[in-house]
Amino acid sequence: MILFLAARPVTPPPVRPAPRRARTPFRRRARFRPLAPYRRIFAVPGARAFTAANLLARLPMGMLSVSAVLMIAGSRGSYALAGAVTASGLAATALAGPWTARLVDRHGQARIAVPATALAVLGSLSLLLCVHYGAPDWTLFACYAATATTPNTGGLSRARWAHLFRDDPAARHTANSFEQAADELCFLLGPVLATLLCTTLAPEAGTAVAAALLLTGVLLFAAQRRTEPPVAPVPATGRPRSPLRRPGLPPLLVTFLATGAVFGSLEVVTIAFADEHGLRSAAGALLALQAAGSCAAGLLYGLLRPTTGTATGAPPRSSRARGTAGHRFLGCTAAMAALMPLPLLAATAGGPATLAVALLLAGTATAPAMVTGMGLVQSLTPPAQLNEGMTLAVTALLGGIAAGSAGGGWAVDHLAGAGAAYGVPAAAAALAAAVTLLTARRRPARPPAPVS
């Protein structure tokens, strides 16, 4: 019996496979993370702190000019005087802005931004006092010109992102997209807040609150020292040449000038169109739709992973990466030129409701063009002059906004109604695309020379 049992083959028990975890809908949703690029950039220590402070400092950028116009016009009864004062301040900013940015590049953000902001705030408060106490008109020009030292807060934030992600083009692209969306949001909320303060509290309330926000935001931003870019050493050859002399940058600034003309003319013509239809109070809502479309497009554009040539080992600032970004910029400006005639068609063939939809669609093309253009400015500018290069781009935008405002106003007065005047932003967008197309093949194929 024992021998029989020993000879009997022993079969091992069947091995049961481990139960597979069911794929629940919750697990599928957890893998889909569309905001992962933004979570990634804000996971960097200190990124949230300097971004929040910079947004606080950037909000007054959309408040100061509107507050000054409402304050001066309400006190002196002259929109012509108010417009002349703000125009002189814009011209002063175009001259002083690059110099302030050059000082930031040489001495650091905290050492220059704080005193420059303090001087600008003193100019705003002096303007408030001169208006309130009836000082001569020339004092208004002098006080508002002092605000030209306001640092380019958006450029300061972009410079920090460029330093943090100097070896990661995809993260820089996401950060630039966020910054452009933040610009749109501030210029969307700033005029609304300024109008609310000036009309409900006092004509001087908008200027006072904007000055307080600017000073507080810059102080908090400058206190975030661990994310501040280091000051580049002075090159042995002496003072570096201006970024304006860098090959490829002047044509890019011309494109920024034309893009600014799109913004400036669109604002003036939209206000005139709403006034023609008895909807002057709805002009802000129409402009808000355009800004909302641009803001949403900027955030969505940041989710895309750009093709920068790094897969083959090319450095982030290589000619291949820059060439790819140049083709992308050409596509973005072409899209802007294709969508900007929509408000013209809607205003001439439709009504305010159709125009609202057209403005929303047209706005979706501006943010991607700005994001890609700012990325090209960063690639064409040496790291030691990054603030100066981006401030030159902003200066070109401001000049374009001023020219576009004047051109849009002239078109409203001399063409057949405000609807036909929407041809001005359409023409400016076509000019931006044409300049980009003509200069795309002439961009330099070498990276900028090292500064040290």
Q: Can you spell out the DSSP letters for 58-89?
A: HGGGGTHHHHHHHHHHHHHS-HHHHHHHHHHH
What residues contact 112, with CB distance under 8 A and at least 6 apart?
A: 100, 103, 104, 151
Question: Residue 243's pLDDT is what?
Answer: 65
For 97-124, the DSSP string reads HHHHHHHHHHH-HHHHHHHHHHHHHHHH
Q: Which CATH class is domain 45-167+189-231?
A: mainly alpha
Provide the total of helices (H) and of strands (E) in the chain, helices listed first. 20, 0
Residue-level pLDDT at 117:
92
* pLDDT at position 408: 77
Q: Which helix (H) or strand (E) holds 131?
A: helix 109-132
Contact 419, 313 (CB under 8 A): no
**What is the reported pLDDT for 2?**
42
Query: What CATH code would you report for 244-305+312-452?
Result: 1.20.1250.20
Cα torsion 251, 103, 233, 241 to 10°: value is 30
Q: Which of 64, 89, 83, 215 is nearest to 142 (CA)?
A: 89
Dmax over CA atoms of the chain, in Å, equals 125
CA distance 168 to 43: 14
Whether the CB-CB separation of 140 and 6 falls below 8 Å is answered with no
Can you give the length of the chain in residues? 452
* 359 burial level (CB within 10 Å; 0-12, 13-18, 19+): buried
Domain with CATH 1.20.1250.20 in the chain: 244-305+312-452
Q: How far apart are CA 184 and CA 397, in angstroms?
A: 14
Q: In whole angstroms, give the CA distance from residue 99 to residue 103.
A: 6
pLDDT at 280: 62
Name the nearest CA neighbour of 448 among 285, 148, 307, 245: 245
pLDDT at 177: 80
pLDDT at 220 (0 to 100): 93
The model's pTM? 0.70
In angstroms, the CA 164 to CA 452 distance is 20
Give the C-alpha distances (Å, rounded to integers) separating 227 from 38, 102, 167, 387.
17, 19, 15, 15
What stretches in the chain show pLDDT beneath 50? 1-7, 10, 15, 24-30, 308-323, 443-452
Which residues lie closer than 8 Å to 430 by C-beta, 6 or more apart? 337, 340
Taking the chain, what is the end-to-end CA distance rounded to the nearest angstrom? 94
Contacts of 307 (CB under 8 A, 6+ apart): 324
What's the pLDDT at 317?
A: 46
The whole-angstrom separation of Cα 357 and Cα 342 is: 9
Q: Are 186 and 51 in contact (CB under 8 A)?
A: no
Task: Collapse the DSSP code of 398 into the 3-class scheme (helix H, G, I; strand E, B; otherwise coil) and give the result.
Answer: helix
Backbone φ, ψ for residue 308 (5° rounding)? -115, 0
